[in-house]
Amino acid sequence: YPQAPIECDMFMKLPHGIVTKHGDAKDHVLKLVNNLYGQKQAGRVWNHYLVMHLLKIGFIQSKIDECVFYRNMVIFIVYVDDGIFAAIVDSDIDEAIKDLTNAGLDLEDQGSPADYIGVNINRINKNTFELTQPALARAIVADVGIGPRTPSKPVPASPTKMLHPFLESPPFDEHFSYRSVVGKLNYIAQCTKPELMYSVHSCARFSSNPRQEHGEALEYIAKYLKDHVDDGIQLTPVRNQGFHVYCDADFAGNWNRQYAMTDPATAKSRSGWIISYANCPIVWASKLQTQVALSTTEAEYIALSQSLRDTIPLMELVNELHSFGFEVWEDAPQVHCKAFEDNSGALELAKIPKMRPLTKHINVCYHHFREAARQGKITFVHEPIETQRATTSPSPYRRMRLCDNAL
């Protein structure tokens, strides 16, 4: 942030304990000469400064994602004040770094992206890669206090207990940091262990006021993780497969009469989906829907809509990559997506543009993908519940299929 110049005259108090030859904080202030982290506009000022230099040395900013830049066969991805270069030839990256340095930016080369994101990227064979996070998994197990003699669990969540606020239960005793463990679990679930998504999201909902049962649920996850620290996700690209989306929903799966008066979320359904490209899962999610669905069809349709909100921009990004000369693994004339859904009502609603009295209210929020379907960019396919990879069945054993079948 301090590399960018200050946007306007700004002053700050002298830090506590700092005294200059002119005086102390009682009668003197400091004038900022450069951008400083912590200002409200600091992020915007830094981003403008960085983008200006990237454009100056020949990078082109993506129209789909403003954090992606192209130059010849080099891709640069920005995340706040960090970035990742990707290219076919290492010398192209070296040249880009040199040009940015010569333009006046102070860069620090931290090596492989695996070191930066904390994920081990191992090549098993010519076509298969494995992503694992053993160090983070062991840290989570140690943080929770699970020892080598502690019995492990076969699944990451109890098949008989669903989490609710449990306001009548005693508060969590904080024998480990609840929020810290949830944060670490959330990262590992999003990167290499999608089978944890449901259980981690359920615990994360109660981070502001955890109770004894919520702490036990985190311990349950850690006991499962204890025997799976070295496991991860394997990616085997298949050239003739474009985007595939598997989505599912449970209709009011959290319903509990006891907590319905104090926890409105008991009436909400849960969406789950997996987005894969070239047979490799790239996005997965398990989250409560933001509004109460009035039927199974509506719950399934909302899940379909949510998953395609993630998919359509990815399709546009791949098309953009192709336009810049990058190889796209898609045999069809255009990037295409197949959406797999097991509810016939949701499929009919997606394919046939007509409204009924019980479904016309859905039109406002969840029909955004119909234009892509009309243009033939998305095909909807019925997927039997027995092979639905993104199942959100109330049983955690069924939820494990998110890992067992899809990945």
pLDDT tops 60 at residue 283: yes
With 0-12 CB in 10 A as exposed, 13-18 as middle and 19+ as buried, what is 52? Answer: exposed
Burial 291-315 (b: 16+ CB within 10 A, else e): eebebbbbbbbbbbbbbbeebbebb
CA atoms within 13 A on the CB side of 140: 29
pLDDT tops 50 at residue 401: no
Instruction: Write down the pLDDT at residue 380.
Output: 73
List the structure tokens of 353.
């543009």
Cα 47 versus chain centre, distance? 22
CB atoms within 10 A of CB 71: 20
Q: What are the backbone dihedrals phi and psi of residue 151, each rounded to the nearest 5 degrees, phi first? A: -60, 140
Measuring CA to CA, which residue among 380, 70, 336, 132 is closest to residue 247? 380
pLDDT tops 70 at residue 390: no
Task: Answer whether 64's CB lies under 8 Å from 317's CB.
Answer: yes
With 0-12 CB in 10 A as exposed, 13-18 as middle and 19+ as buried, what is 17? Answer: exposed
pLDDT tops 80 at residue 364: no
Instruction: Write down the pLDDT at residue 133.
Output: 94
* Percent of the chain topping pLDDT 70: 83
Specify the range with the lowest mean pLDDT, choosing from 63-72, 114-123, 195-204: 114-123
Q: Between 406 and 183, where is the model more confident?
A: 183
The tens digit of pLDDT for each residue in 73-97 reads: 999 999 888 899 999 899 999 999 9
Instruction: Write down the pLDDT at residue 259.
Output: 77
**What is the average pLDDT across 153-168?**
89
Output the average pLDDT for the chain. 83
Query: 386 CB contacts (<8 Å, ≥6 apart)?
Result: none
Query: 249 CB contacts (<8 Å, ≥6 apart)?
Result: 269, 270, 271, 272, 289, 293, 296, 299, 300, 302, 303, 343, 392
The tens digit of pLDDT for each residue in 249-282 reads: 888 887 877 777 777 788 889 999 999 998 899 9
The pLDDT-based confidence of 399 (bands split at 50, 70, 90) is very low
The pLDDT-based confidence of 221 (bands split at 50, 70, 90) is very high
Q: Between 269 and 116, where is the model more confident?
A: 269
The tens digit of pLDDT for each residue in 337-362 reads: 566 666 676 666 666 555 555 554 55
**What is the average pLDDT across 225-241?**
90
> Which DSSP letter does residue 41 get?
T
**What is the average pLDDT across 206-220?**
95
The pLDDT-based confidence of 59 (bands split at 50, 70, 90) is very high
The tens digit of pLDDT for each residue in 309-323 reads: 888 888 889 989 988
Instruction: Write down the pLDDT at residue 254.
Output: 79
For residue 30, CA distances in Å to 2, 24, 290, 322 come to 15, 10, 47, 50
Instruction: Write down the pLDDT at residue 37.
Output: 83
The pTM score is 0.77
Task: Answer whether 203's CB lies under 8 Å from 163's CB.
Answer: yes
